[in-house]
Amino acid sequence: MSDLLVAGDLEKEYRGGPEPVRVLRGVNLTATSGEMVAVVGASGVGKSTLLHLLGSLDRPSGGHVLFDGEDIFARSENGLARFRRTEVGFVFQFYNLLGEMTALENAMVPALLQRLSRAEAQDRAEAALQEVGLGDRLSHRPGELSGGEQQRVAIARALVHRPRIILADEPTGNLDPKTSEVIFDLFLRLQAERGLTFIIATHNVELARKADRGYRLVDGRAVPWS
Ligand SMILES: Nc1ncnc2c1ncn2[C@@H]1O[C@H](COP(=O)(O)OP(=O)(O)O)[C@@H](O)[C@H]1O
Ligand SMILES: [Mg+2]
């Protein structure tokens, strides 16, 4: 198995405030194709910052991210947008679903952004919702779903454009322990059945141990553990 994603000497400094904040000071991290990698660390240590860089939602101050051997930040803005649209599925702590849209419509969004036909987008979204166990909730709106169900809609949405990697930022941070385990086990099943690669940021060390490998973010660097 080869490395799907490699972060090398990744740095991030935020310069908005009175003093620059150096959050990442040379992070080295890899994810092999089909692997589940956890990133743990206390609140404020830079987990979200790191995932944003890995998914090209933000640009690093230094270092590089290789995806399938390609330096993604050498791409144009359009090229980066295409990278996000095709290769990456994002899952967030607060689900980020659109409240006025049904589960099905929410899950269709990335497929529509990829310019698939409405019929194809709908077929894929239905299949993804079935896969996460929500086949009987297609026309429910987020407000009519539990937290765990909303996160499963968000996971279906993250799958629908068939990305190669899922970046999940505190995906269980808003869920009770039992539901957290259900969501993590769903990730494990998707990893086993689809061969998907995962990078999951969490402060839940117990869940993180279910991953194949992990890193602890400390002082702006990623220290491996296994
Ligand atoms: N856009 C931003 N501008 C300035 N500082 C930021 C920004 N985003 C995050 N930070 C700072 O970077 C640090 C790491 O934040 P974050 O990546 O959200 O950590 P974590 O996800 O591990 O809680 C924090 O000190 C936070 O205040
Ligand atoms: Mg965070």
Q: Which domain holds residue 134?
A: 3-225
Question: Considering only CA atoms, which of 184, 46, 163 is closest in space to residue 113?
Answer: 163
CB-based contact 188:36 (threshold 8 Å): yes
Query: pLDDT band at residue 213, thresholds of 50, 70 and 90?
Result: very high
Could you tell which of 10, 43, 49 is best to mutate to test the pocket of ligand 1, judged by most ligand atoms within 8 Å of the CB? 49
Question: What's the CATH number where 93 sits?
Answer: 3.40.50.300
* Region 172-176 average pLDDT: 95
The larger pLDDT score, comparing residue 1 to residue 121, is at 121
| pLDDT at 19 (0 to 100) | 93
Chain mean pLDDT for the chain: 96
- Nearest residue (by CA) to ligand 1, atom 4, is 14
Say whether pLDDT at 145 is over 90: yes
In 15-158, DSSP assigns E strands to: 21-32, 36-40, 62-67, 70-71, 88-91
Give dist(CA 171, CA 175) in Å, integer. 8
Distance of CA 44 from the midpoint of ligand 1 (Å): 6
Q: What is the pLDDT of residue 1?
A: 61
Q: What confidence category does residue 207 fall into, taking pLDDT thresholds of 50, 70 and 90?
A: very high
Measured in Å, residue 54 CA sits from the centre of ligand 2 at 14
Residue 193 corresponds to which amino acid? E
**pLDDT mean over 71-86:** 97
pTM of the model: 0.96
Nearest atom in ligand 1 to the alpha carbon of residue 42 is: 22
CB of 48 sitting under 6 A from ligand 1? yes
As a whole number of angstroms, the distance between CA 92 and CA 157 comes to 11
Work out how many domains the chain is built from and give that number. Answer: 1
* Ligand 1 close to Cβ of residue 93 (< 6 A): no
Q: Place 226 in a pLDDT band, splitting at 50, 70 and 90.
A: confident
